Structure 1
Amino acid sequence: MKFRRITPDIASNKIEESKQFYIDFIGLKLAMDMGWILTFISESNPTAQINLLQSDKEEIDNSNVMISIESSDVDEMYNKAMAQNITIVYPLKTEEWGVKRFFVKDPNGVTVNIMSHVDKTENSKS
C-alpha cells in the first residue's frame, strides 16, 4: 500500500479571512469550494493541500494544531509576512540542524511553520 497524500483538515469559522491568508499570503490556489469545505493546493505540487472545514461553533480551539510548509524562499515569505502584517509568533531563525524558519498564526489559530532547508553553516548568519 502506498500513500498518495496526507492533508490537514482545519476547522474554521473565519472562512473569508482564511481564504485571504492561504491564497494571498501562503500562495495556494483554491481548487474546490463546496461552501462547507474548501481545498487549497500548491500549483507547483498539487498533492500539497490544505482543507478548511466550515464550523458553526463560535469558539474553535486550534491552538495545539501546527502545520509545516517548506518554501523555496523562506526570506521572501518572511518579508511578505511583515508587509502583510501577519502575526509572527516565532522570529526568522536558522536552526543549528539546518532549517531556517519562522512561525505565523493563521486566522483560525493554527501555527504555521514556514521553513527551508539550508546549509548548516548558514546558522551563524541569522
Structure 2
Amino acid sequence: MSIAQIIGSRHVLAVQNLHASINYYIDQLGFSLVWQIEGWALVQRDSISIMLGECQDDISAHETNNHSYFAYIEVTDIDSLHQEFTHNNVEFVSQLATKDWGQREFAIKTIDGHRIMFGQELLF
C-alpha cells in the first residue's frame, strides 16, 4: 500500500473585481497568470499559488478585520522582497522587523483587504 504525500497547496481567495486583482498580483506582487476562466484565475510566484474567485456581492476581506490574514509565506532574502514591494507601492500592514521568535518579517494588505505575512527564518 502506498502512502499519499501532500505535494503542495493553493490558497483560494474571494475577490470583488477579478481583473483588478489579477493585475495587482502581477504588477505589484510579481506573480504570473497561470490560467483564467469565467470568474476564476490562478496566479503563481515561485512555489506559491493563489486561486482568485470573483465574488462581487460577498463581504470583502477589508470587512473581516483580523480574519483577513490568510497566509504566512516563507521566503529567502526578505530584505530584497520588502524593497521590491516598496518600489511597487504595496500597502504594508507591518514594516520589516526582526522578531524574538527568530523570524524577520513584514505584512502586506492586498487591494481586496487580504493580509499576507512574509517571513525569513534567521539562523541563530
* Range class of TM-score, shorter chain: 0.7 to 0.9
Q: What value does the CA root-mean-square deviation take over the aligned residues? A: 1.9
Deviation at 1:58, TM superposition (A): 6.1
Moved more, 103-112 or 62-71: 62-71
Counterparts of 1:1-126 in structure 2 under 5 Å? 1-42=4-45, 44-45=46-47, 48-57=48-57, 59-61=59-61, 63=65, 64-66=67-69, 67-120=71-124
SS at structure 1 position matched to 2:10 = coil
Letter of the 1:51 counterpart: M
Gaps of 5+ in 2: none
Deviation of 1:27 (Å): 2.0
Q: Aligned pairs, how many? A: 117
Shift of 1:40: 1.1
Deviations 1:1-50 (A, max 9, x none): 322322111000132332233222322211010131111123x43xx311
Gaps of 5+ in 1: 121-126
CA distance in 2, matches of 1:35, 1:76: 35
Give TM-score, length-normalised by structure 1. 0.80
Structure (1/2) with the larger strand percentage: 2
Q: Give identity over the alignment, percent.
A: 19
